[in-house]
Structure formats: C-alpha cells, structure tokens
C-alpha cells in the first residue's frame, strides 16, 4: 500500500496557513455550498458559532434551517440526525464534546452503526458526528476523555481523527461525500494548531482509510494519531539529534485502520512504539499491537512498547493533569528502551 500523498510540490505555491478550526469551517462551508442536503445540528452552533468556534459565521451564510441550534439533548441529536439521513439528508451533528457522546451512545451504537445492516442494506446513513475529545485544558475527569476506543470496537462505524489542518479539511470534505456513518473526532487542543492548506478554490479531499508517514526513519516505527502526532513528531526530531531515526505514522483514521502502512513500516524498522493519549487497557493501542503481533510477529526484534495516558480519571489539577498525559519525554524514553536493544537483537527480542 502506497503512502498517502502529501500535497504535490507545485501545489505548495498555492498553500496558505490556517488553523485546524478554520480548516474545519471551510470544509463545512464548501460542502454545504456544493450539496444542499447537508445541514448542521447541535448545541450552541448557530449564533454562538459552536463552543469551540468551528461553526462561527455559518448561520449568516446558510440560515437557521441548515444551521440548527438544538435543545440540550445528545441522544435525540444523534437520533434525529439518523432519522433525517434516512430521509435523504446529510446531517452533521456536532456534539459539544466527545464526553457527551456517552449520552448518545445508544443511538450511535445501536442505531447508527447498525441501521444500514438492519434495513437490509436499503438505507444510507451519511451521518457525520463531529466532536472534540481529549485532555490538557484542565477540564477535569468528565470533560477530558479520549473515548474513541469505545466506538472503534463497533462494526459499522468509521472513526476519523485528523491531526493537521490539511487533513481536518480534506477528511471532513471526504466524510461529507460518502454514505457511511462517520465519527469525526477532533481534539480540543488542536483547534488553534496551524498548518498549510491549499488556497480557497483548490479542491482536494483526503481518503478516510489511509494513514500517512509523517517522518521517515529506519530504527523504530512510532504509530500514533490525533494530537499525539505532533508530540511524536517533536520526539522524533529530538531523537534524530542523537542518531536515532524514528518513522512516525499518523493513522489519521483508526477505523478502518491502514494496517498495511503500519506493517510495511514494521518490516522495515522491526521495532514499534504505539503512542496515544487514551488509556492503556483494552484500547486502540492494544488493538493495534495485537494486529502487529498477528500479522508481523516474525519481523519484530523487540516487544511492542506502548505510551499512553495514565490509568486514572483525568485529574483537574494542572500539575496532576500534566502527569497523567503522555508527553514527548515518555515517547523518547520508550524509543530509547527499544533501539539500543538492536545491538543484542536475537537475544533481547524475546
């Protein structure tokens, strides 16, 4: 499987720098202009412009029929999105945070993920549920969670978790042009991240089933997604100064996972660190590790290392929160624990 393409060199001339938030807004606006069946529903998204400002200004262009403020009720936001999709519309449901998706989880898991199946394949469910996840802003135990692993377990859902403005825009546009349910998971601390995006008017989308190699390397593969991509990229830069070349894979979507991209890299580096902000046990990272063990065990020279959030509810205190979140130092330490073992490969591997 080919590495997903970065923008072509000649496109670079037409690139500009915008935030992740602006990239999402552009994607929504462009797709709403293109397809009048797209509408948005959620709490505080209209005049207020969304709790994280993503939908700011959209009501002025598209009106309150297509940018609908709803009552504070996540289950029916998801349920109504499903119902309107059955009727042929393409809803974007914004949940204020992923934490609140738990209130909608019955509709997401029992209806959204299953309705195409339960309608005998005769219904389309082009529903995109957008929601920010993650910690780091001192929002406490109930408002800082990465819950993607709960949903990644469920057949029938696709989970997109872009890390850059380029991917945020391209993947949201792609999400709005296909017919399966998408959980579009943003990260609260990514909204202000800036990055290069093609000029307005330059059309592009990013595939929803392809990861990307953010940095090539031969010594170790770091598999990651969402905000941890940036932390791992910084770690890789630091490691390079010490002569360790880490390959950083940004999965971009965790369901479906671009497993071939991961396995190709593992066969090259023979060492793997999986880094995620979420918890360790029974989660996405462990699932990826199991897939690597299942399909590339013979290529591994060392056990897979796993950098995760601490196994506690997210603390409220700034100091404790910082301690609970995985950071650059832990990624570097995990890599270093694996890479020196190369000298004794064959002895230390098992």
Partner 1 sequence: MVDTLGARAAHDSHPADPIAAMVNADGLLTAEAERAANISDDVLRDLYRRMAICRRLDQEGLNLQRQGELGLWGPIAGHEAAQVGAAMAMAETDWIFPYYRDFAMTICRGVDPGIAMTWFRGLTHGAWNPYEHRLGPLIISVGTQVPHAVGFAIGCKLDHEPTAVLVGFGEGSTSTGDWHEAMNFAGVFKAPVVFLCENNQWAISVPMREQVAGRVADRAAGYGFPGLRIDGSDVLTVYTVVRAAADRARHGEGPYLVEALTYRFQAHTTSDDPTRYRTDADVEPWRAKDSIARATARLRDRGAFSDDFERAVAAEAEETALAMRATLLSAATPHPGQAFDLVFANPPASLLREQAEFVAELEPGSAE
Query: Per CB under 8 A, does 243 bind partner 1?
Result: no
CB neighbour burial string for 46-69, b if at least 16 within 10 angstroms, e if fewer: beebbbbbbbbebbeebeeebbbe
Sheet holding 212-215, edge to edge: 212-215, 246-250, 220-224, 272-275, 305-307
Tell which one of 11, 75, 238, 330 touches partner 1 (CB under 8 A).
75
Query: Per CB under 8 A, does 331 bind partner 1?
Result: no
Q: Rank residues 208 and 325 by Cβ distance to partner 1 and give the closer one.
A: 208
Q: Work out how close the CB of 286 gets to partner 1 at its nearest, in angstroms, rounded to a whole number.
A: 17
Q: How far apart are CA 55 and CA 297, in angstroms?
A: 45
Q: Work out how close the CB of 227 gets to partner 1 at its nearest, in angstroms, rounded to a whole number.
A: 24
Active-site annotation holds for 321: no
Q: Residue 213 class from Cβ within 10 Å (0-12 exposed, 13-18 middle, 19+ buried)?
A: middle
Query: Per CB under 8 A, does 82 bind partner 1?
Result: yes
Query: Per CB under 8 A, does 160 bind partner 1?
Result: no
- Interface characters, 246-265, with partner 1 (x: CB under 8 A): ---------xxx-x------
Say which residues have a Cβ less than 8 Å from residue 140's Cβ, sequence separation at least 6: 314, 316
Short-list 321, 316, 225, CA closest to 274: 225
Query: Per CB under 8 A, does 76 bind partner 1?
Result: yes
3-state secondary structure of 87: coil
Q: Rank residues 101 and 144 by Cβ distance to partner 1 and give the closer one.
A: 101
Binders of partner 1 among residues 279 to 308 (CB under 8 A) are none
Q: How far apart are CA 161 and CA 193, in angstroms?
A: 14
Q: Work out how close the CB of 240 gets to partner 1 at its nearest, in angstroms, rounded to a whole number.
A: 33
Active-site annotation holds for 30: no
Question: Segment near partner 1 (CB under 8 A), from 64-72, 159-167, 221-229, 274-282?
Answer: 64-72
Catalytic residues: 74, 143
């Amino acid at each position: 499987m080919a590495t997903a393409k970065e923008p072509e060199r000649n496109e670079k001339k037409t690139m500009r720098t915008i935030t992740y938030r602006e990239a999402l807004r552009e994607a929504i606006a462009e797709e709403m202009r293109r397809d009048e069946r797209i509408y948005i529903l959620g709490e505080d998204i209209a005049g207020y412009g969304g709790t994280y400002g993503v939908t700011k200004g959209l009501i002025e262009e598209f009106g309150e029929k297509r940018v609908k403020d709803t009552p504070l009720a996540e289950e029916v936001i998801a349920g109504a999105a499903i119902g309107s999709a059955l009727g042929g519309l393409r809803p974007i449901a914004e949940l204020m945070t992923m934490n609140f998706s738990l209130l909608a989880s019955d509709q997401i898991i029992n209806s959204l993920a299953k309705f195409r199946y339960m309608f005998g394949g005769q219904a389309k469910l082009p529903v995109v549920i957008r929601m920010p996840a993650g910690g780091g802003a001192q929002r406490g135990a109930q408002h800082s969670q990465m819950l993607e692993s709960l949903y990644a377990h469920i057949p029938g859902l696709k989970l997109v978790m872009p890390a850059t403005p380029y991917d945020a825009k391209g993947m949201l546009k792609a999400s709005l042009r296909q017919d399966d349910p998408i959980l579009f998971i943003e990260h609260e601390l990514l909204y202000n991240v800036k990055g290069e995006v093609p000029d307005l008017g330059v059309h592009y989308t990013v595939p929803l089933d392809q990861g990307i190699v953010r940095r090539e390397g031969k010594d170790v593969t770091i598999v990651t997604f969402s905000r941890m991509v940036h932390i791992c990229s910084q770690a890789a830069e630091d490691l390079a100064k010490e002569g360790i070349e880490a390959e950083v894979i940004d999965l971009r979507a965790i369901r479906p996972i671009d497993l071939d991209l991961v396995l190709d890299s593992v066969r090259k580096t023979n060492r793997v660190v999986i880094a995620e902000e979420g918890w360790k046990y029974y989660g996405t990272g462990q699932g990826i590790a199991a897939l690597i063990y299942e399909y590339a065990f013979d290529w591994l020279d060392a056990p897979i290392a796993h950098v995760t959030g601490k196994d506690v509810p997210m603390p409220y205190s700034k100091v404790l929160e910082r301690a609970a979140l995985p950071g650059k130092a832990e990624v570097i330490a995990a890599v270093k624990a694996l890479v020196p073992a190369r000298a004794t490969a064959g002895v230390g591997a098992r």
